C-alpha cells in the first residue's frame, strides 16, 4: 500500500517569539496544519545576516524536501539556506538555480519575451548609481517613450513620480534623476542592478482587480487571485495559453505570473516570481493555496546523500 509524506513548509518565525510563525503567515500556517501538513520555522533575520545555520536551528533533522514560505530572500542567501538544510538532511523543494531563475528578471525575461514589456538592465551594487552614459546606452535599447525603473526583483511604484516613472527616455537628466532616487531609496536592498522597462498603459477590466496573480505548480495554473496590492478581490481570468508555454520553458516548480490588461485588450505579463516568496491577497482562498502546496509530493526534489547541492 502506497504511503504519503506530509508536506513540510518553512515559515518565517515571529521576530518576537521564535516558537510561532510570523503574524503575516500565521493563518496560512494554521491552514496547512489543518490539512495535515507540518510547519517548521526559520529565522529570516539570521538568514539575511548570513547565519544560515542559526536560521535553520529549529528545523528538525531529516526533514526531507521542504517548501519555503516567507519574506523575500536574496538568491545567494537562498542558496545558503538550501546548503544549511542539506547538512541537516533536508532540501528546498525549489533548487537555488530555479529560485534565481524565477525570482530575478534577468533569469526569466528572455523566456517571456513577447509577453512582457521590453526591458534592459545594468548590474549595480547597492547604493551605486550607474553613470549617465551607461543609462543612456541602456535606454537606447528600449522603444522610444516612457519607461519604469526597478531592480531585478522590485520596483518602487508607490513613489511613482520620483523613483519609478521616466516620462521620456531621451531626457538623460530625468532618467538619471529617477534612477538615482530609486537606488537611494532601495539602499542596501537593491537586488542585482537597475532595470528599465518600457512603459505600457494598462487598464482595469471593469470592477475586477487591475492586476491578477496566477499561481503555477509544475507548469499548471492552479490558482488565480487578485494581486496583493489590489483593493478588490474579484478577478477576470486572462487567456493563459500564451503564458503556459513560457512557464513550462522556465522549468521552475512553483511560479507566479502577474498579468495586467493593456489598453489594446492584450493581457501582458508584468512580473514573474518564485511562488514561495509571492504574497497572497488578503481575501484569497488559503485552503486552495494549501492544496496547491500539498499536491504531488512525489514531484519534489530529495536531498542528495552527500549533502551537496545538485547542479
The pLDDT tens digits for 180-223 are 999 999 999 999 999 999 999 999 988 899 999 999 999 999 99
Q: Pick from 311, 278, 310, 274: which is nearest to 105 by CA?
A: 274
pLDDT of residue 212: 97
Classified as helix, coil or strand, 274 is strand
pLDDT of residue 310: 30
The string of pLDDT tens digits covering residues 60-119 is 999 999 999 999 999 999 999 999 999 999 999 999 999 999 999 999 999 999 999 999
- Residue 304 pLDDT level (bands cut at 50, 70, 90): very low
- Residue 3 pLDDT level (bands cut at 50, 70, 90): very low
pLDDT of residue 297: 45
Q: Pick from 310, 311, 307: which is nearest to 85 by CA?
A: 307
- Is 45 a residue whose pLDDT tops 50? yes
Q: From residue 241, how far is each of 246, 247, 267, 289 by CA, in Å?
A: 9, 10, 11, 21
| Average pLDDT of span 163-172 | 97
Residues contacting 62, CB < 8 A, separation 6+? 88, 89, 90
pLDDT of residue 296: 58
Domain boundaries, the chain: 1-92+280-311, 102-109+202-279, 118-198
Class of domain 102-109+202-279: alpha beta
The pTM of this model reads 0.92
- Is 257 a residue whose pLDDT tops 50? yes
- Is 25 a residue whose pLDDT tops 60? yes
The string of pLDDT tens digits covering residues 220-231 is 999 999 999 999
- Residue 309 pLDDT level (bands cut at 50, 70, 90): very low
pLDDT of residue 206: 85
Strand partners, 147: 166, 198
Residue 97 phi/psi, 5-degree rounding, is -65, -45
Q: What is the C-alpha R_g of the chain? A: 20
Residues contacting 156, CB < 8 A, separation 6+? 149, 150, 163, 164, 182, 185, 186
- Is 307 a residue whose pLDDT tops 50? no
Residue 186 phi/psi, 5-degree rounding, is -70, -35
pLDDT of residue 305: 35
Measure the CA–CA gap between 215 and 255, rounded to whole angstroms: 6
Among residues of the chain, what percentage have pLDDT more than 70? 94
- Is 15 a residue whose pLDDT tops 50? yes
- Is 253 a residue whose pLDDT tops 90? yes
Q: In what order do the strands lie in the sheet with 119-123?
A: 119-123, 193-198, 147-150, 165-166
**Residue 250 has which C-alpha cell?**
522556465
| Average pLDDT of span 126-131 | 96
The string of pLDDT tens digits covering residues 133-165 is 999 999 999 999 999 999 999 999 999 999 999
Amino acid at each position: 500500500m502506497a504511503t504519503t509524506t506530509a508536506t513540510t513548509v518553512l515559515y518565517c518565525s515571529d521576530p518576537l517569539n521564535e516558537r510561532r510563525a510570523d503574524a503575516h503567515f500565521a493563518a496560512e500556517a494554521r491552514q496547512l496544519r489543518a490539512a495535515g501538513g507540518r510547519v517548521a520555522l526559520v529565522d529570516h533575520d539570521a538568514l539575511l545576516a548570513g547565519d544560515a545555520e542559526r536560521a535553520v536551528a529549529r528545523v528538525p533533522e531529516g526533514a526531507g524536501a521542504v517548501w519555503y514560505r516567507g519574506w523575500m530572500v536574496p538568491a545567494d542567501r537562498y542558496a545558503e539556506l538550501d546548503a544549511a538544510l542539506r547538512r541537516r538532511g533536508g532540501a528546498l523543494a525549489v533548487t537555488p538555480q530555479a529560485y534565481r531563475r524565477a525570482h530575478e528578471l534577468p533569469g526569466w525575461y528572455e523566456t517571456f519575451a513577447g509577453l512582457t514589456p521590453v526591458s534592459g538592465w545594468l548590474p549595480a551594487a547597492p547604493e551605486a548609481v550607474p553613470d549617465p552614459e551607461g543609462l543612456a546606452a541602456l535606454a537606447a535599447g528600449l522603444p522610444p517613450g516612457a519607461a519604469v525603473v526597478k531592480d531585478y526583483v522590485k520596483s518602487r511604484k508607490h513613489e511613482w513620480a520620483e523613483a519609478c516613472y521616466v516620462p521620456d527616455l531621451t531626457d538623460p537628466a530625468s532618467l538619471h534623476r529617477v534612477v538615482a532616487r530609486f537606488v537611494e531609496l532601495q539602499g542596501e536592498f537593491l537586488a542585482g542592478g537597475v532595470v528599465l522597462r518600457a512603459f505600457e498603459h494598462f487598464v482595469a477590466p471593469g470592477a475586477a482587480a487591475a492586476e491578477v496573480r496566477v499561481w503555477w505548480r509544475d507548469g499548471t495554473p492552479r490558482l488565480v487571485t487578485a494581486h496583493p496590492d489590489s483593493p478588490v478581490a474579484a478577478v477576470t481570468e486572462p487567456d493563459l495559453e500564451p503564458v503556459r508555454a513560457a512557464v513550462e520553458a522556465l522549468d521552475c516548480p512553483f511560479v507566479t505570473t502577474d498579468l495586467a490588461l493593456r489598453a489594446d485588450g492584450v493581457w501582458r505579463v508584468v512580473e514573474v516570481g518564485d511562488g514561495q516568496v509571492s504574497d497572497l491577497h488578503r481575501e484569497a482562498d488559503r485552503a486552495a493555496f494549501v492544496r496547491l502546496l500539498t499536491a504531488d509530493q512525489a514531484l519534489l526534489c530529495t536531498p542528495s546523500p552527500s549533502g551537496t547541492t545538485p547542479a
